[in-house]
Amino acid sequence: MLSAIAVFAKAPIPGRVKTRLAVTLGAEEAARLHEKMVSTLVLRLIEAANRLGCDVEIHTDTLTDAWAGLAVSRALQADGDLGARMLRALREGLDAGRTRMLILGGDVPTVPISHLEALLGADSDVALGPAEDGGYYAICCRKTHPEMFGGVAWSTSKACEQTAAACRGAGLSVAIGPMWFDVDEPSDLDRI
C-alpha cells in the first residue's frame, strides 16, 4: 500500500483561523487566505503524488464544505490537543497498511516537494520537517508510540525540539529533515 500525506487544516471559519494574520488582514480575508493556501498545497501534492508514491488526504478539525472540489480523501481529526490528533491520524494510517504516514500543516503552500521526499525517504521511525519558528511543518512516521508527543508545548519555539526528544524517549529513531517556513505572521506573506 502507498504511503499517505494528510494535510491538517482547520475549517476556514473567520475568527478561528490565522488569527495572527487577521490582526492585519481582517478575519474574513485571513480565512480566505487560509482556504487558498490549503487548496494550493493540496493541488501541488496531487500533481506530485506519483513522484512521491503517496495518496493525498485532507484532515479537518470540523465538518466543512471547503475543498470539496479536490479529488482527495477526507477525514475528521480526533478530539484533543495537536499531539492527540496527530497520533490518531498517524496510527490509523499505519494500521491501515500505509508504509509511511506524513502529516503536513496546511500553512506551507510553497514547501518544496523535495523536502517531502526527504522526509518520506528518511531511514528512521520519525522524520520531522522543522519550521523556522521552532515548530515543524511536517512529521512522517513509519512507527508510532503513545508517548511520542508527551510534554510538547504546542505553538512554541520548542515544539520541534521537544517532539524529537519525546520520540527518542519513547524509543523511536528520529531524523530531522530540511527546514521551511509556515505562514503565521504578516511578514510571512511577502515570502509566498
Residues 125-177 have pLDDT tens digits of 999 999 999 999 999 999 999 999 999 999 999 999 999 999 999 999 999 99
pLDDT digits (tens, 9 = 90+) for 15-73: 999 999 889 999 999 999 999 999 999 999 999 999 999 999 999 999 999 999 999 99
pLDDT at residue 190 greater than cutoff 90: no
Residue 1 has what pLDDT? 83
The set of cell numbers assigned to 157 is 519555539
pLDDT at residue 187 greater than cutoff 90: no
pLDDT at residue 186 greater than cutoff 90: no
Instruction: For residues 102-114, give the mean pLDDT.
Output: 97
Residue 76 has what pLDDT? 97
The set of cell numbers assigned to 140 is 512522517
Count other C-beta atoms under 10 Å from residue 41's C-beta. 23
Task: Give this prediction's pTM.
Answer: 0.95
Residue 138 has what pLDDT? 98
The set of cell numbers assigned to 96 is 491501515
Element (DSSP H or E) covering residue 9:
strand 3-9
Total domains in the chain come to 1
Residue 135 has what pLDDT? 95
Nearby residues of 192 by Cβ (< 8 Å), 6 or more positions away: 37, 109, 110, 183
Give the CA count within 13 Å in the CB-facing half-sphere of 172. Answer: 24
Contact, 125 vs 174, CB < 8 A?
A: yes
Cα angle: 188, vertex 164, 4; to 5 degrees = 70
Q: Look up the CATH number of the domain holding residue 175.
A: 3.90.550.10
- What domain range is 155 assigned to? 3-189
Under DSSP, is residue 176 helix (H, G, I), strand (E, B) or coil?
strand
Give CA–CA dist 14/26, Å, rounded.
Answer: 9
